[in-house]
Amino acid sequence: MTGIERYESIAGKATIDELFLLARQIEGLSIQNINSTSVGGGVAEILTRMLPLMKELGVNMRWDVIRGDEKFFVITKKFHNGLHGVPVEITDDEYDHFIRVNRENAAELSFGDVVFVHDPQPVALIEKRIDLGRRWIWRCHIDFSRPDRKIWKFLHRYVSMYDAAVFSAPAFARTLPIPQVLISPSIDPLSEKNMELPETVIDSVFNKYGIDRSRPVVTQISRFDYLKDPVGVIRAYRAAKKRVDIQLVLAGGGATDDPEGPAVMEKIHEEAANDPDILVLLLPPSSDVEINALQRGSTIILQKSLREGFGLTVSEALWKGKPTIAGAVGGIPLQITHKYSGILTYSIDGTARWIKQLINEPEYATKLGQNGREHIRNNFLITRHIKDYLLLFTSLMHKGDLVYLK
Amino acid sequence: MTDHGPGTPFYFHTKLDQTILLGVRAKNVKQLLHGIRTVPESSIYHHTHRFLLQHQYLSPEPPNDFAYWVTEIVGNAALGERLASIDIVQFDSIAVLRERFADILESCVTSEEYRPETNHGDDFHFMASRTFVIPTPFVAHDLREFMDILGKISLNALYYHVFDAKLRLGKGENDFSRWLRDQARDDIADKIKRLDPYAQTLEGLRRRIIGLLGRDDRN
């Protein structure tokens, strides 16, 4: 059985057959993904899983990563924060440096027939289109509901030069002269991070880190980033712990394009203040099975983000049937219908209240998890994502609302 | 399915939708009405049909997006119920369906002076469906083959021949019934036409159509 055929038992044979039908439509085209990091973060994770499957479908797809110095990534982190609505100041010199690094990369890269650019870091590569032509798509993975006006004005002139822009949630749509497409990201149910695990593996991971499985465990898995509100998570845990005996696990990795990581870790350790029931785990990129085990062995999963591009860790938790409490930001409300397939909260107090509620009402918590899993099966697995990308590339070659393909 | 007449094979197609963000949003019922009047027909189609494919595990299905937003977000349960009760199966064109939504909303907008706005983040975002139709390898030459293939095709293919054919392509009737009439089987064609595809899950609809074909004593 090939890689793509293994998904038939989860998504259905007819769904996989349709992917092959669709892939035929772009036969002969070379598709090139470009982003700024090969490890860490949702984009790198999805591309790592998707590329081999695309190849099996007969799609000629590759992935290139732009290079930049430390100054470039400090600037792009400011972009990231500013686009998420955090106040930042970017100087003219920094904008100039951003453009310079993009031009250096554009001079070194060789481009495909379709250039699929991910996030703001490589957005200015589009200048190359003036000489080259080709088809260009800009894929935005971050929360664009309240972007900093000045940064958006700067990016707007580049984004407007693309053939299409792709956003992860309806609220991120902007006023643009090009078509805007909605594509939610996805999880891979067969990856090490999401595959079924024997209880023995879960036990061994919990033992390794000294987590007591006989008491409730509340876990947040995410990058150590202010926008994931790890400090807020600790405060919600403390508030809930006054009434229920819980442990807290904060686990995640860093990304090579995130210079803020160490400062965030320091804040977390300060807030945790040597509480023996708080475990902070900075995990290396190869820790997918451990993350999977931590999620599966937890009683409740949190994703208390303040801003979020999509929040794939929510889909991961729901796919494992876990009751999940998450901030109502970015793409999270697409994944959780409040009180039906999970819990949406807006504050530390609200999060603490729902932790207590779900610990005390395990049957209700179980039902939330079951509904959540079915919702993910229908809408957020990698097979749906591949379909959306194949449609996106196909759509560049056609006009009209109703297209008959051969 | 383009050819007609007795003995004409049925060519099964499937469809896949791309969701387009229109960048048009509504904060209150008046803005929703304005949007419904001005967005392309592919948007009206999207918001009245999207849930059929996205919530296959729910039964009964949720109502159309307009009704859901007015009920759950705006908090106007009475108006939401009227929008949810629109019997979409009786409409043969999106233009007429659009008018029906607009008429109901207009009666509310003109009679209500108080028009509360939603919170930030709770706006109604208009989207549209761009539909790509693809031929499948499945071809039925008689009723027996037709029934066998119906059990194998994707829900997208079923959806295309039942929903898209009638309303979006303006054929006035689903593809299955049209083909059955060509085969001089108006009896089954009428029974399939009478099914309300909006009041059941797609798998339920598939089972019912196969059931109608299976009961045929000439088969």
> Which stretches does DSSP call E strand in A224-311?
247-252, 278-282, 300-303
List chain B residues with CB under 8 Å of A398: 132
Lowest-confidence segment of A189-203, A240-254, A270-284, B83-97 by average pLDDT = B83-97
pLDDT at A254 over 70: no
CB A57 within 8 A of CB A24: no
pLDDT at B60 over 50: no
Mean pLDDT along residues A119-137: 96
Residue predicted with more confidence, B170 or A202? A202
Query: How far is it, in rounded angstroms, from Cα B25 to Cα A53?
Result: 36
Instruction: Count CB pairs under 8 A between chains A and B.
Output: 97
pLDDT at B152 over 70: yes
CB A230 within 8 A of CB A199: no
Band (B171; pLDDT cuts 50, 70, 90): confident
pLDDT at A315 over 60: yes
Strand ordering across the sheet containing A402-404: A60-65, A30-35, A114-118, A135-139, A164-167, A180-182, B10-26, B124-140, A402-404
Band (B216; pLDDT cuts 50, 70, 90): low
CB B11 within 8 A of CB B135: yes
pLDDT at A400 over 60: yes
A321's CB contacts (< 8 A; 6+ apart) are: A366, A369, A370, A372, A373
Band (A235; pLDDT cuts 50, 70, 90): very high
Interchain CB contact of B125 with A (< 8 Å): yes
Question: How close B90 gets to chain A, by Cα (Å)?
Answer: 22
Mean pLDDT along residues A104-124: 97
- Running DSSP on this structure, what letter comes out for residue B164? I
pLDDT at B179: 95
pLDDT at B58 over 80: no
pLDDT at B120: 60
Query: How far is it, in rounded angstroms, from Cα B113 to Cα A330?
Result: 33
pLDDT at B59: 40
Q: Of B23, B130, B155, which is closest to A401 when you measure between CB atoms?
A: B130
The alpha-carbon radius of gyration of chain A (Å, integer) is: 21
pLDDT at B72 over 80: no
pLDDT at A223 over 90: no
pLDDT at B123: 87
Lowest-confidence segment of A287-301, A365-379, B130-144 by average pLDDT = A365-379
CB A46 within 8 A of CB A187: no
| A180 to chain B: closest CA residue | B21
pLDDT at A301: 98
Contact A181 B19 (CB under 8 A): yes
B114-133 residue pLDDT tens: 566 666 667 899 999 999 99
Q: Is A199 helix (H, G, I), strand (E, B) or coil?
A: helix
When mean pLDDT is compared over A152-166, A167-181, A260-274, the highest value belongs to: A152-166
Contact A378 B55 (CB under 8 A): yes
pLDDT at B115: 62
pLDDT at B94: 92
Q: Of A176, A379, A394, which is closest to B132 when you measure between CB atoms?
A: A394
pLDDT at A53: 95
Query: How far is it, in rounded angstroms, from Cα A259 to Cα A40?
Result: 13
pLDDT at A45: 82
- Running DSSP on this structure, what letter comes out for residue A338? B
Strands B124-140 and B10-26: antiparallel
Query: How far is it, in rounded angstroms, from Cα B142 to Cα A318?
Result: 44
pLDDT at A316 over 60: yes
Question: How close B43 gets to chain A, by Cα (Å)?
Answer: 10
Please give the C-alpha separations between residue A101 and each of A106, A133, A331, B69, in angstroms, as whole numbers.
9, 21, 30, 45
Rounded to two decimals, the pTM is 0.84
Enumerate the β-bridge partners of residue B131.
A402, B17
The alpha-carbon radius of gyration of chain B (Å, integer) is: 19
Enumerate the β-bridge partners of residue A251.
A221, A281
Alpha helices in A57-198, H assignment, sequence order: 70-83, 92-108, 129-132, 149-159
Q: Of B40, B54, B121, which is closest to A378 when you measure between CB atoms?
A: B54
pLDDT at A138 over 50: yes
Question: In whole numbers, what is the pLDDT of chain B averaged over residues?
Answer: 86
Classify residue B20 as exposed, middle or buried by CB count within 10 Å of its CB (0-12, 13-18, 19+).
Answer: buried
Mean pLDDT along residues B21-44: 95
Q: Is B103 helix (H, G, I), strand (E, B) or coil?
A: helix
Window A:325-384, CB contacts with B under 8 Å: 328, 374-375, 377-379
A18-57 residue pLDDT tens: 999 999 999 999 999 999 988 767 788 889 989 999 999 9
Query: How far is it, in rounded angstroms, from Cα A306 to Cα A286?
Result: 27
pLDDT at A204 over 90: yes
List chain B residues with CB under 8 Å of A308: none
Window A:169-188, CB contacts with B under 8 Å: 170-176, 179-183
Interchain CB contact of B95 with A (< 8 Å): no
| A14 to chain B: closest CA residue | B154
Mean pLDDT along residues A168-182: 91
Question: In whole numbers, what is the pLDDT of chain A averaged over residues?
Answer: 93
Residue predicted with more confidence, B138 or B54? B138
A256-281 residue pLDDT tens: 556 777 889 899 999 998 899 999 99
CB A257 within 8 A of CB A77: yes
Residue predicted with more confidence, B115 or B101? B101
Query: How far is it, in rounded angstroms, from Cα B169 to Cα B166?
Result: 6
3-state helix, strand, coil split of chain B in percent (to 5) is 55, 15, 30
Contact A14 B152 (CB under 8 A): yes
Query: How far is it, in rounded angstroms, from Cα B59 to Cα B57?
Result: 7
pLDDT at B42: 94
Contact A403 B125 (CB under 8 A): no
Strands B124-140 and A402-404: parallel
When mean pLDDT is compared over A307-311, B8-12, B55-59, the highest value belongs to: B8-12
